[in-house]
């Protein structure tokens, strides 16, 4: 059964007399249960089908509305299945003169309706739609007051570490099972959950505030003769709204009319695609005079709108206005005002709401940003799993040990006999399980609970310092560095590949019209080099002289050429408050060409939907626009058909040379003369376009126009149909010539790319230029040098069959490996450049070709950098996405992880901050596992000498505060402020970046193993030194208790682990020193305080009098406070010194050079292999 949901807006009255009408048959009466309703009520009426009427796909609904005073004629509403929305005419009634009915279907309509019911919903204007059709209310917030706690806790406990500690907390709540208090786990866990929860609340409050601001924004709605103000959230499909200049469009609107005399408006789409240039929109021709709801009555009574279903395509809209006589007027994206756009340079517009709320294109384009996980985080997750296995193994061995001990000695040791009830069971499987769980609880801190919070806090602080780096602040535009994520800092230090857009990223995106070829003659090369304008073609004396003479065939060809530039474009002329004419364009190339033509006397004055007004050498000329065939990436060309003042129809077409040459009339001398000019332009790195035109007879145009109109109003396959009609008319062109536009490199780009290359980072530049142009630009930006061996892969090289393509790629990969090997054997850095055409790249990336192609460019951590909306996909897919705040808007910035104003800052971001962040954060991870391993080891060793009893060595208060209070702050200071070498040293010697770039999981495991071995030694020292120092009996025959010994061990751990941070620190600040000093210095007073308040606090009763007693014991000061740290860290000093002498790292050599002030004496970009041979300071001095 298919059901039809019909929703309408009506005034107060009765709803009755419905009929269902087939296009091919009579109306079928439908019984209704109608009743009156008040304006504030919503009426639900069920309509029963008593029989099985034939129902076709194109069934109509007759819907008369009867008010108290007016009984208007019914109107037929087309019902098309499964078309989503039909905006149909409204009806006159009391209080309002224009309403719209939206008809939706749930599914395909069967040929025979088997009986059943459908529902009709009516709602007073202003109420939310009861059918579930989206209103205009939106919500981006994740939580509500009621949902926050369960949803946030669920999300936090999806993290394995949090689930692990929750499991430990549950075990601790089992009576008699846990050897430690539940506070030792629940306290730190709650602290971690609280910190994350506060962060989520802060973020979501911002989202709630933004939602409320948007939903409650006012908008003018037209009702009858009045204009009423409503909130955005109350808008529904069918409302007529009026938007004022400077305001955002509240929903997706059909543009009906505007204050502009040319029936157009200008919108800024920065919120949609990031582009800040103004876009031109044209109103529907049939409603130009609409200024109120009364004016729309004729349109509403005789027309309706059919349109596509809601979708995410920002640049495509397929719809039509259907008139009562069956004729159709096409609607396209130029008639659609999208939600989120801002109205500019137009006083007001009136529009009909087509899509609201979640159906609007801006919300259909909402996609969750992909979650990016750094390699360090992946390694950390693996490490957590490995440490859990270690914990399980140790716990099982200790449990088996206790079971063996009890079996052998329990009967003899009558004074420790247990009650033999749960959980203290006799030796056996049950006892092993219980003891296993006890040891799991006892040594649960082998996995550091504070690590994740510490890392998040550290990364936030690192990002704060990043934004404060004035070396990445662009003073000219006032653009600071921007961190849009706090999770990827260390990944910046492991980037091996950078994929970069060219235009606007490497270049300034300020186009200059510099050369042109007109009818086989090249202009612009002789222009003066130093000019105030980038459009140097305007100063070419030969071109200016020829235009001034006004005679001859060459002059006419130049006039046609420059007229073409002024007409065939989408540039929007606008006048400033000072009366100056400026141009707004989606394409900087078009803006440059139009501006250059204007400076040469061919000035575009205005543009509307049906005409172009221009000034040609002082004379005003008006052209009627007949059709516009827009540019897209498939067509690579644009055309416009105009009627000239003398009545002729002319087609202007411009595009890539390959596209224009393929559509030229045969045997043109200009074609042969222009090709050398195009080649020379490409070698100079200029962007080229070719221009062609032809005159069309009226008869040919009429035939084509009819077919084109039919294609343009199609609701299915419109793009393909329009493209086919464009292909049919764009033939037999006459070549006018070619243009060359220059886009200069940004400041510092060549130096930045050279630095990245010296660091071992492979840079890919993605450009739509010709191959020759791309190579020329690569040389100018130092991507290639003149010594670079180029490997070129053209489309034709991969045009053969599947096996041949794979073989060709394999041959290229083999050749690259051979060259690399030869260069390395000769002690040189490999210098190979790969150039691949777009079509060849698409072939190489096919699944069956991927393996040989990856031999040329293996998949490694990479960064993507761009400045435009077309770069968003690359930026989001890259491990690190970087946006440039350029002239193409903020789309790239909004999609990025990091953003700044100039490409040159990328080198500092990766080499300085990325390298520092990786070294710092990897040490934070290693240190967290090291100190917790050293902390847990005394408990394990104590178990070995206490019958594996699972008795904790530390009191509950000490367990709960070890990570949070006594050992966290020094590592936070280290992770935020440490600089192993100066930033200037890294930028001068970028090979230092390879130390972090080339680290893989096995390197991480090796480093962590060394840390854990050091933790093993430190744990042993912390266990045995206090045992030896305090294990002797006193003169009165008593010995220190277990908690005296535990506090002494704990004291040694605090001193050793904090001093470990100190000896790993190379760059000391007062903050580092303070954090280390306070962490050690505050412990002893705190110990005394705990001892003093122990009788008053139940959790501290085990520490009563421990402080005064230990402080009065000389062995405590000599053995624990002095000897234990010396013994533990002495081995660290010995091993570190041996490593630096025998196997020095590059950074260690440069640390010595910095101390001697001789870094500048090492040649810039010296290879790491040469520096790593320097083993000590004497050899450093010798090399210098």
Q: Which residues of 148-173 are buried (b: 16+ CB within 10 A; e: fewer)?
A: beeebeeebeeeebbebbbebbebbe
Count the Cβ atoms, other than its own, within 10 Å of residue 1130.
11
- Could you give the dihedral angle defined by the CA atoms of residues 1162, 1166, 1170 and 1172, in that order, rounded to the nearest 10 degrees? 80
501 is catalytic: yes
Cβ-Cβ contacts under 8 Å for 745 (sequence gap 6 or more): 506, 507, 508, 780, 781
φ/ψ (deg, to 5) at 382: -65, -40
- The DSSP string of 1057-1099 is HHHHHHHH-SS--HHHHHHHHHHHHTHHHHHHHHHHHGGG-GG
Beta-sheet pairing, 252-258 with 278-282: unpaired
Q: Residue 1004 is encoded by which pair of tokens? A: 């991480």
Q: What are the DSSP E strand ranges found in 224-307?
A: 226-231, 240-244, 252-258, 264-268, 278-282, 303-307
Q: By the 8 A CB rule, do 344 and 266 touch?
A: yes
Q: By the 8 A CB rule, do 6 and 238 touch?
A: no
Distance separating alpha carbons of residues 970 and 77, to the nearest angstrom: 73
Nearest to residue 1125, comparing CAs of 1080, 1059, 1061, 1045?
1059
Distance separating alpha carbons of residues 249 and 270, to the nearest angstrom: 12
Cis preceding linkage at 423, omega within 30 = yes
Nearest to residue 511, comparing CAs of 684, 687, 632?
687
Q: By the 8 A CB rule, do 1093 and 1100 touch?
A: yes
Total residue count of the chain as it appears in this document = 1184
Residue with tokens 């901050």: 913
Nearest to residue 1152, comparing CAs of 1039, 1029, 1018, 985?
985
- Three-state secondary structure call for residue 379: helix
Distance separating alpha carbons of residues 344 and 271, to the nearest angstrom: 14
Chain center to CA of 1154: 39
Q: Residue 596 is encoded by which pair of tokens? A: 């250059």
Distance separating alpha carbons of residues 777 and 767, to the nearest angstrom: 10
Please compute, for residue 335, the number of CA atoms within 13 A of its CA located in the half-sphere on the CB side: 23
Nearest to residue 512, comparing CAs of 685, 640, 633?
685
Helices (H), 867-1000: 872-877, 891-895, 905-908, 915-944, 956-961, 969-977, 983-988, 994-997
φ/ψ (deg, to 5) at 479: -100, 115
Per annotation, catalytic residue among 239, 273, 332, 501: 501
φ/ψ (deg, to 5) at 533: -115, 145
The residues assigned a catalytic role are 501
């Amino acid at each position: 059964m298919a059901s039809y949901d019909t929703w309408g807006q009506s005034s107060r009255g009765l709803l009755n007399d419905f009929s269902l009408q087939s296009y091919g048959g009579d109306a079928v009466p439908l019984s209704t249960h109608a009743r009156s309703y008040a304006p504030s009520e919503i009426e639900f009426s069920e309509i029963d089908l008593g029989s099985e009427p034939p129902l076709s796909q194109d069934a109509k609904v007759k819907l008369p509305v009867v008010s108290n005073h007016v009984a208007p004629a019914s109107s037929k509403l087309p019902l098309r299945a499964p078309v989503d929305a039909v905006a149909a005419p409204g009806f006159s009634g009391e209080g309002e003169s224009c309403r719209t009915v939206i008809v939706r279907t749930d599914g395909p309509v069967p040929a025979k309706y088997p009986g059943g019911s459908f529902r009709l919903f009516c709602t007073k204007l202003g109420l939310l739609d009861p059918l579930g059709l989206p209103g205009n209310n939106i919500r981006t917030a994740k939580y509500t007051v009621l949902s926050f706690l369960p949803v946030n806790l669920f999300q936090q406990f999806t993290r394995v570490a949090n689930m692990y500690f929750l499991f430990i907390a549950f075990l601790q709540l089992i009576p008699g099972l846990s050897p430690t208090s539940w506070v030792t786990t629940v306290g730190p866990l709650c602290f971690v959950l609280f910190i994350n929860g506060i962060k989520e609340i802060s973020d979501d409050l911002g989202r709630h505030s933004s939602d409320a601001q948007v939903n409650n924004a006012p908008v003018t709605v037209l009702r009858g003769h009045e204009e009423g103000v409503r909130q955005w959230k109350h808008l529904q499909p069918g409302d007529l709204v009026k938007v004022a200049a400077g305001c955002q469009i509240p929903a997706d609107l059909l543009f009906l009319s505007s204050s502009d005399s040319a029936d157009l408006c200008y919108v800024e789409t920065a919120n949609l695609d990031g582009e800040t240039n103004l876009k031109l929109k044209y109103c529907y021709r049939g409603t130009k005079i609409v200024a109120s709801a009364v004016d729309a009555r004729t349109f509403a009574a005789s027309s309706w709108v059919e349109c596509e279903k809601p979708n995410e395509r920002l640049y495509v809209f397929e719809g039509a206005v259907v008139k009562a006589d069956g004729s159709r007027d096409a609607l396209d994206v130029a008639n659609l005002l999208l939600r989120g756009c801002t109205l500019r340079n137009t006083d007001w517009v009136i529009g009909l709401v087509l899509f609201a709320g979640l159906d609007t294109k801006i919300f259909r384009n909402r996609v969750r940003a992909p979650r990016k996980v750094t390699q360090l985080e992946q390694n950390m997750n693996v490490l957590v799993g490995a440490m859990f296995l270690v914990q399980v193994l140790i716990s099982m061995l200790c449990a088996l040990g206790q079971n063996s001990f009890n079996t052998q000695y329990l009967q003899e040791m009558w004074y420790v006999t247990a009650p033999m009830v749960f959980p203290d069971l006799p030796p056996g499987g049950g006892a092993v399980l219980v003891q296993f769980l006890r040891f799991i609880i006892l040594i649960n801190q082998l996995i550091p609970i504070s690590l994740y919070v510490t890392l998040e806090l550290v990364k936030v602080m690192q990002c704060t310092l990043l934004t404060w780096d004035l070396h990445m602040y662009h003073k000219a535009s006032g653009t600071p560095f921007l961190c849009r994520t706090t999770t990827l800092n260390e990944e910046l230090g492991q980037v091996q590949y950078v994929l970069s857009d060219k235009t606007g990223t490497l270049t300034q995106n300020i186009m200059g019209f510099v050369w042109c070829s007109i009818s086989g003659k090249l202009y612009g090369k002789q222009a003066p080099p130093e000019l105030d304008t980038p459009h140097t073609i305007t100063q070419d004396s030969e071109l200016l002289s020829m235009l001034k003479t006004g005679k001859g065939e060459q002059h006419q060809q130049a006039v046609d050429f420059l007229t073409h530039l002024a007409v065939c474009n989408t540039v929007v002329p606008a006048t400033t408050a000072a009366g100056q004419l400026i141009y707004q364009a989606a394409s900087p190339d078009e803006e440059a060409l139009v501006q250059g033509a204007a400076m040469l006397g061919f000035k575009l004055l205005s543009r509307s939907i049906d005409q172009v007004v221009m000034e040609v050498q002082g004379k005003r000329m008006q052209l009627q626009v007949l059709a516009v065939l827009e540019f897209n990436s498939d067509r690579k060309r644009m055309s416009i058909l105009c009627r000239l003042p003398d009545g002729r129809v002319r087609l202007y077409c411009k595009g890539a040379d390959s596209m224009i040459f393929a559509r030229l009339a045969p045997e043109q001398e200009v074609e042969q003369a222009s090709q050398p000019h195009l080649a020379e332009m490409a070698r100079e790195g200029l962007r080229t376009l070719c221009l062609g035109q032809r005159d069309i007879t009226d008869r040919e145009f009429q035939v084509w126009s009819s077919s084109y109109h039919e294609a343009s109003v199609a609701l299915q396959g419109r793009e393909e149909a329009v493209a086919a009609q464009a292909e049919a008319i764009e033939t037999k062109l006459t070549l006018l010539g070619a243009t060359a536009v220059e886009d200069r490199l940004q400041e510092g780009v060549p130096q930045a790319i050279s630095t990245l290359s010296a660091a071992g980072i492979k840079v890919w530049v993605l450009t739509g230029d010709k191959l020759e142009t791309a190579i020329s630009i690569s040389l100018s930006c130092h991507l290639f040098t003149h010594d670079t061996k180029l490997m070129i892969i053209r489309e034709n090289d991969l045009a053969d069959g599947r096996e041949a393509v794979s073989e060709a790629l394999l041959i290229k990969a083999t050749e690259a490996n051979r060259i690399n090997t030869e260069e390395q054997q000769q002690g040189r850095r490999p210098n190979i450049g790969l150039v691949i055409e777009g079509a060849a790249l698409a072939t190489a990336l096919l699944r069956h070709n991927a393996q040989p192609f990856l031999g040329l460019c293996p998949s490694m951590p990479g960064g993507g950098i761009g400045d435009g909306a077309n770069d968003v996909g690359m930026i989001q897919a890259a491990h690190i996405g970087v946006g440039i705040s350029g002239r193409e808007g903020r789309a790239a910035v909004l999609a990025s992880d990091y953003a700044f104003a100039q490409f040159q800052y990328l080198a500092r971001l990766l080499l300085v901050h990325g390298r520092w962040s990786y070294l710092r954060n990897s040490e934070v991870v290693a240190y967290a596992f090291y100190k917790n391993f050293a902390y847990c080891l005394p408990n394990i060793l104590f178990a070995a000498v206490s019958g594996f009893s699972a008795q904790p060595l530390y009191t509950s208060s000490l367990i709960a505060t070890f990570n949070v209070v006594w050992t966290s702050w020094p590592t936070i200071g280290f992770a935020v402020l440490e600089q192993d070498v100066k930033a200037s040293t890294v930028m001068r010697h970028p090979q230092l970046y390879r130390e972090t770039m080339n680290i893989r999981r096995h390197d991480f495991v090796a480093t962590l193993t060394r840390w854990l071995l050091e933790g093993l030694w430190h744990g042993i020292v912390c266990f045995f030194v206090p045992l030896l120092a305090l294990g002797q009996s006193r003169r009165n025959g008593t010995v220190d208790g277990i908690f005296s010994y535990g506090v002494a061990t704990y004291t040694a751990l605090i001193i050793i682990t904090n001093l470990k941070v100190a000896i790993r620190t190379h760059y000391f600040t007062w903050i580092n020193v303070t954090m280390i000093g306070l962490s050690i210095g505050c412990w002893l007073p705190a110990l005394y305080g705990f001892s003093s308040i122990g009788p008053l606090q139940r959790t501290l009763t085990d520490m009563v009098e421990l402080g005064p007693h230990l402080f009065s014991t000389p062995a405590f000061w000599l053995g624990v406070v002095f000897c234990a740290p010396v013994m533990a860290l002495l081995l660290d000093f010995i091993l570190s010194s041996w490593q630096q002498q025998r196997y020095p790292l590059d950074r260690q050599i440069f640390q010595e050079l910095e101390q001697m002030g001789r870094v500048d004496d090492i040649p810039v970009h010296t290879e790491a292999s040469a520096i790593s041979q320097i083993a000590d300071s004497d050899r450093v001095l010798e090399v210098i």
